[in-house]
């Protein structure tokens, strides 16, 4: 393989640039030319494709977002558009692809790879940590650390005023950001889509925390449960004057400089992607981490693994909130 393309797709995640950099520099060691494709699959459709080299990725490992930019591209769900994408990359002689994105991006990559027999490697770039085949996704560690910084600050002011704060975090249908930030930030309550909650239990916890002498209550709410505004409404009527505030962290948690863990993970994933593509007949695979080792797996096999949820960590969180 002499020419490969790299793109970032779906929601950006801290560490995507470190992954692009690793792909470019490892490919250069193998005399493989790399083409950057802008704005995810949209760039394959409109031909936003250009040669990138080692200097293009200089001074990027520490940057959040994605230098190749990203997009959601509904057209790519249709075969006629994927055909157009194939024609566009073929015009540049691109023989293999690295796709950095989440499960949606991987589905697009799988369809594309199968239809046109183009080897494609997926690097799991999403803050949500919602891909079951890998212990962690790229950007998750940074996002949780960002949430933690916010939780610490919010805790200071809630304690000063003896208040309750609902902090809404991202994650789509996955509660991992909430659980990890909840454990590490000492949240009193963690509400996630994987575990149905009972509002009466939340109220009991808040009231009992007061009796125990706690001076603030932090509720970490995963966005997949409901909005912080709706939860506040539900709580307010039954809290007998206890003040409740809300913070929706939003995009703060998706941007920012990637953590050491995300930079190293990205670098290892990029290296593996190039190693697999170099073989030429590697099909469509996704890269991840299991038990602190880098793994790769057939994309169909990986996407078929049902979502898992770390019940033990959640149980520990509940015990630690006492
Ligand atoms: P993520 O990759 O972060 O999960 P999305 O779910 O938005 O983000 O998917 C990113 C892009 O991947 C979509 O805009 C679309 O171009 C492509 N995609 C998503 N799902 C599919 C699918 N089922 N088939 C083909 N392409 C898909
Ligand atoms: O998938 C990453 C993510 O940040 C989710 O946590 C969130 O629900 C979604 O993307 C937001 O996407 P958008 O920026 O397109 O609204």
Give the tens place of pLDDT for each residue, 164-174.
999 999 999 99
Domain check: are 36 and 18 in the same one? yes
Query: For residue 208, what is the domain's CATH number?
Result: 3.40.50.460
Mutate to test the pocket of ligand 1, among 68, 75, 76 (most ligand atoms within 8 A of CB): 76
CA max distance for the chain = 70
Alpha-carbon gap, residue 21 to 53, rounded angstroms: 9
Same domain? For 134 and 166 the reply is: no
Residue 164 lies in a domain: yes
Q: Taking residues 280-287, what's their average pLDDT?
A: 90
Check whether residue 199 and residue 215 sit in a common domain.
yes
Ligand nearest to the CA of 254: 2
CA–CA gap between residue 28 and residue 23 (Å, rounded)? 8
Q: Are 168 and 70 within one domain?
A: no
User: If you take atom 14 of ligand 1, which residue's CA is the nearest one?
Assistant: 72
Q: Which ligand is closest to the CA of 174, given by its number?
A: 2
Same domain, 243 and 277: no
Residues involved in catalysis:
128
Contact in structure between 54 and 28 (CB atoms under 8 Å): yes
- Please give the Cα distance from 301 to 85 (Å, whole number): 25
**179/234 same-domain check:** yes
**Nearest Cα to Cα of residue 158 among 277, 262, 245:** 245
Q: Does 317 fall in a domain?
A: no
10 and 134 both lie in a single domain: yes
Q: pLDDT band for 191, please (50, 70, 90 cuts).
A: very high
Checking if the pLDDT of 240 tops 90, the result is no
- 93 close to 1: Cβ distance less than 8 angstroms: no
- What number is the average pLDDT over the span 78-102? 98
pLDDT reported for residue 287: 98
């Amino acid at each position: 393989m002499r020419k490969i393309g790299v793109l970032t797709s779906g929601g950006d995640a801290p560490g995507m640039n470190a992954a692009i950099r690793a792909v470019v520099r490892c490919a250069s060691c193998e005399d493989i030319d790399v083409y950057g494709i802008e704005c995810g699959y949209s760039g394959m459709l409109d031909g936003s494709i250009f040669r990138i080299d080692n200097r293009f990725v200089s001074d990027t490992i520490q940057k959040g977002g994605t230098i190749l930019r990203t997009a959601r591209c509904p057209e790519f769900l249709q075969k006629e558009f994927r055909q157009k994408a194939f024609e566009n990359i073929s015009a540049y002689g691109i023989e293999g692809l690295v796709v950095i994105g989440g499960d949606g991006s991987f589905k697009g990559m799988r369809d594309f790879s199968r239809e046109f027999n183009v080897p494609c490697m997926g690097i799991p770039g999403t803050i949500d940590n919602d891909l079951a085949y890998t212990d962690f996704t790229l950007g998750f560690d940074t996002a949780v650390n960002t949430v933690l910084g916010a939780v610490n600050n919010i805790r200071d002011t809630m304690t000063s005023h003896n208040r309750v704060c609902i902090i809404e975090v991202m994650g789509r249908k996955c509660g991992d950001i909430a659980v990890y930030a909840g454990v590490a930030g000492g949240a009193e309550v963690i509400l996630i889509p994987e575990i149905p909650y009972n509002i009466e239990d939340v109220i009991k916890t808040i009231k009992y925390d007061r009796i125990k002498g706690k001076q603030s209550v932090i509720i970490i709410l995963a966005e997949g449960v409901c909005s912080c505004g709706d939860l506040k409404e539900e709580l307010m009527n039954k809290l007998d004057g206890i003040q409740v505030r809300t913070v929706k962290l939003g995009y703060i948690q998706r941007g920012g400089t990637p953590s050491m863990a995300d930079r190293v993970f990205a670098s290892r994933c990029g290296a593996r992607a190039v190693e697999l593509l170099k073989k030429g007949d590697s099909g469509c695979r996704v890269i991840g981490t299991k038990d602190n080792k880098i793994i790769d797996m057939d994309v169909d096999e990986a996407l078929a693994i049902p979502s898992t949820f770390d019940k033990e960590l959640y149980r520990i969180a509940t015990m630690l909130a006492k």
